[in-house]
Amino acid sequence: MPTEPKLDTAAERRVARQMTRDAVRKSAPKLHTVVKYPDPVLLKKGEPVTEFTPELAQLVEEMFDSMYAAEGIGLAAPQISISKQITVIDVSFKERPEDKLVLINPEVIDRRGKQLEEEGCLSLPDIHEKVQRDAWVKVRAQNVKGEIFEVEGTELLARAMLHEIDHLHGILFIDRLSRLKRDLVLRRIKKLQKHGDW
Ligand SMILES: [Zn+2]
């Protein structure tokens, strides 16, 4: 009589567990709800990450899934109510796997020039305004293993990194607008809230 296959070693059991996890994730990725302005979590600084665990790697994957589901090219942990210094970016939106970027505890260490382009944010749906950003930036961050690396970017990548790093400090792109423009945007949001469209 055939017996059930037995997983004898810890390594085999670990592989089996991972396969189950992968299967579950592929069939139904855990999607986090993206919170909207003025949720307080968006307005405070995220805590630095100090432990680089499998749970952190899992969270990062869930952040990519949630970002793609929301059709964004960047997502910061505070946007899913996790007040930590974690952000994921993919400026090519799944086109080029090498564009998938994870920045943990990032800081801008060099910047040059200016660019002025339209920006939006998953936490401020339907709001689009031109924002001035650095044209080129160099960022130092940690990856999911805690290894320190540096990444440089221009154009959309520079903009995305700066936008997401701002999120980790409680800053939204509307905070980078002139007082007048920011007030107009806030008035528009109030109106949308009043009509239940926010
Ligand atoms: Zn944003």
Average pLDDT, 10 consecutive residues per value, the chain (198 residues): 64 77 69 97 98 97 97 98 98 96 98 97 96 98 98 98 98 97 96 92
Class of domain 29-194: alpha beta
| Amino acid 59: pLDDT | 97
Q: How far is the CA of 122 from the centre of ligand 1 (A)?
A: 6
**Token pair of 122 as six digits:** 């998953």
SS3 69: helix
Q: How far is the CA of 172 from the centre of ligand 1 (A)?
A: 7
- For 157, the enclosing helix (H) or strand (E) is helix 155-167
| Amino acid 122: pLDDT | 97
Q: Kindly name the residue from 4, 95, 129, 164 that is annotated as catalytic.
A: 164
Ion ligand 1: residues, CB < 5 A: 121
Say if residues 61 and 100 touch (Cβ distance below 8 Å): no
55 counts as catalytic: no
| Amino acid 65: pLDDT | 96
Q: How far is the CA of 47 from the centre of ligand 1 (A)?
A: 18
- For 58, the enclosing helix (H) or strand (E) is helix 54-69
- For 88, the enclosing helix (H) or strand (E) is strand 86-89
Q: How far is the CA of 183 from the centre of ligand 1 (A)?
A: 18
- For 105, the enclosing helix (H) or strand (E) is strand 101-121
